[in-house]
Structure formats: C-alpha cells, structure tokens
Copies of this chain bind each other. A is one copy, B any other.
Amino acid sequence: MSQDASLTSLGDLGEFGLIEHIRTQFELQQASSVLGIGDDAALLDFNEKQCLLSTDMLVEGVHFDLSYTPLTHLGYKAAVVNISDIVAMGGTPTQLLLSLAVSNRFSKEAVDALIAGFRQACSFYEVDLVGGDTTSSNRGLVLSVTAIGEVEQGKHISRSGAQDNDLLVVTGDLGGAFLGLQVLEREKAVFLENPNAQPQLDDYQYVVGRLLKPEARKDAIEALADLGITPTAMIDISDGLSSEALHLANASKKGVRLYEDKLPIADETFKACEEFRLNAPTVALNGGEDYELLFSIPLSDHAKFEGHPFFRVVGHVTPDEKDRCFVTNQGQELPLKAQGWNALSNNPED
C-alpha cells in the first residue's frame, strides 16, 4: 500500500510518533479512567465496583481477510468483539487497550482508517482507549484488544448459573455473519478469476453487514434491566449457538435443548442460504460471529418480555447433564455439537 508516494510511511513516523498520533485522537470520558495513554500503565479507579477484563487477538489471514475487509470496519469490529464479552457478563464496558503489529506495507493513512473505526466504536459504546502497544510485524497485521468493564458487587452474570427448566433466550437473529462470509468469499473468487469484475453485494447488504460491522448487545442488557429480568447465566455467541449453549451447559452442569422451529433467522439470511444451498437452521445453529447473546432466565420471567423484538426463546435448560440436543421440526433429537470455529486446526505449516 505504501508504494503511493502521497502516503506517509510508518517508519518516518516512528513508534513514539504513532503512539502520540493515536493518543491525541482519543479523549477520556469515563469517571473510572484516571490516567490513559502516556505512562508505563493506565490507572483506573472502580471505586466500590468490580472490574471485568477480557481479551481477544485478531490475526490477518485467520480472523480477517484484508482483500474484502475495510480497515475501518476491522477497527470497529476489533473493539466490538471485546466489548461484547464485557456485556455478556452483565457489565458496563468502560476502557479498551489496543495493541497493533503492523508491517511496513501499511501506511500511516491505513492505520488511520483502522483507528477511525476503533474510535467510532469507542464513541458509540462510550469507552476510553487507555493504553496499548504498537510494533512492527514481519508479516501481516495482528490486533490484540483488551476490554475492561465495571459491574456492581455480586451483579455479574457468569455462564454457570443456569437452573433446571430455565428458558434459553437469544437476542437478534443468527447465521447472518456466516452467510456474509460466504458472499464475500465468492466475490473474492470471482475477482481473482477476473480482476475487472465488480463485486455484486447489493442484494446481500444485511448479511455482509452482519459480518463486517457486528454490534455488542449493550442495548439488550439495558432492555433486560428495564424489563426487570436478571438472567441466571449468559454468554455471547461468537463461535455459534450450538457451541455457546454447550459452554453454558458445561459451566452450569446442566442439559440444554434447542428447537429448530424457534431459531431466529432473518429473511435475508434465509434467501442467501437458499442461493448457497445451505440449510438455514444448521447455519443459525453453527455459524459464528453474530455476537448476539444467549442467556437463561426463570420460566416465570417469560411474560415480562413476550413480544419484545430483541428476544426469542430458543430452548430450555434440563437437569440431566448428558441431555444436550437439537430438536428438529420432525421431532428428531440430534446431539448438540460444538462445530464452532476451531482456531487451531486446518492451519498449514508456515
């Protein structure tokens, strides 16, 4: 990218120059942010509250493909996937740390695009960038983000609190991000075959948007509070509903049953599934990266959210730890499997 003489090379800017360039773009807004970027460590004060911490690493060629992922979207998503983990604990996201390993093929302008997306997420979710690291990479882009949040003493929601007969509820709809990936991979293949081809994405804006610009469901947590509902257990759906339901079941030492006819699937996802000859419920069950929430609530809370557009019951919790199944429309009971993305297989030798 930096072949273009009008772009600024990162080498000219230097590590400290780049840090300073980033620092000036972020202002501290959270009461808990005492000291941000610029010292050996950030200083935070959570007062009476407890502190939540989560971290994710995003590697070029594994988690994203820059041939169809705009850097602004990547920056936004890197913040969101970490914020989502704080939200999934019932916490309020407050700060982020951002570490970047970039090779010299990135210009300052490319890093600026990435940072612009990250900043947009910070602004939307009202979180402060308080630290990080910048370094060179001898190949590819690696991002590591740590999210920090706060939660009142004893008010966090772990994966382990699901109770017998609790309802399993998900926010939004599922499978869209997976279809977005199929569409972008297809367009990439077409482009590689014929570099003059223009991408055909108009019919797929919803599913492509689900992949490239996911949101953390902070709004759903706020809606639950307004409705007077406290989930007994919660997890965010990054690896697919099936995989996350099993995590929740394992942590809670319970069984879970999910129902095909209850899976929330958007019309756009259905249409794209037909075109790609994919089974929509299978995609909704196993496709990852939607960043919706899965949580359990007492049966008695059902009436409180009936008809609410955010929430859909997809199954329930059972007492038998071995009872983990997916019930099809034909009444067949299939064993639930964690088909979620496995980060450590199918990776060719360097």
Contact = CB atoms under 8 A, between A and B. Distances in A.
Interface stretch (A41-49, A113-121, A264-272): A41-49
Contacts of A50: 34, 43-45
- What bracket does the count of chain A residues touching chain B fall in? 35 or more
Interface in A318-346: 338, 342-346
Contact of A55 (B10, B45, B61, B97): B97
A346 B50 CA distance: 43
B14 A344 contact: yes
Interface string A252-264: 0000000000000
A349 interface: yes
A52 B57 contact: no
B85 A40 contact: yes
A137 interface: yes
A177 interface: no
B130 A53 contact: yes
A35 interface: yes
A167 interface: no
Given A53-B146, A136-B344, 13 more contacts: A15-B342, A39-B89, A39-B159, A40-B235, A41-B89, A44-B53, A45-B51, A56-B99, A97-B146, A103-B349, A133-B144, A134-B344, A144-B144
A342 B13 CA distance: 10
Number of copies: 2
A133 B43 contact: no
A42 B54 contact: yes
Interface in A139-153: 139-140, 142, 144, 146-149, 151, 153
B59 A138 contact: yes
A99 B57 contact: yes
Given A130-B53, A342-B14, A343-B15, A39 B101 contact: no
A41 B85 contact: yes
A133, A159, A338: residue with the most chain B Cβ atoms closer than 10 Å: A133
A146 B146 contact: yes
B43 A151 contact: yes
A191 B343 CA distance: 35
A18 B151 CA distance: 29
Interface in A47-87: 50-57, 59-63, 85-86
Interface in A161-182: none
B144 A55 contact: yes
B44 A343 contact: no
A210 interface: no
A148 to B, nearest CB: 7
Contact of A99 (B55, B132, B156, B251): B55
A101 B139 CA distance: 13
B136 A99 contact: no
A50 B345 CA distance: 41
Contacts of A34: 50
Interface string A19-52: 0000000000000001100111111111000111
Interface string A93-128: 001010111111100000000000000000000000
A315 interface: no
B105 A350 contact: yes
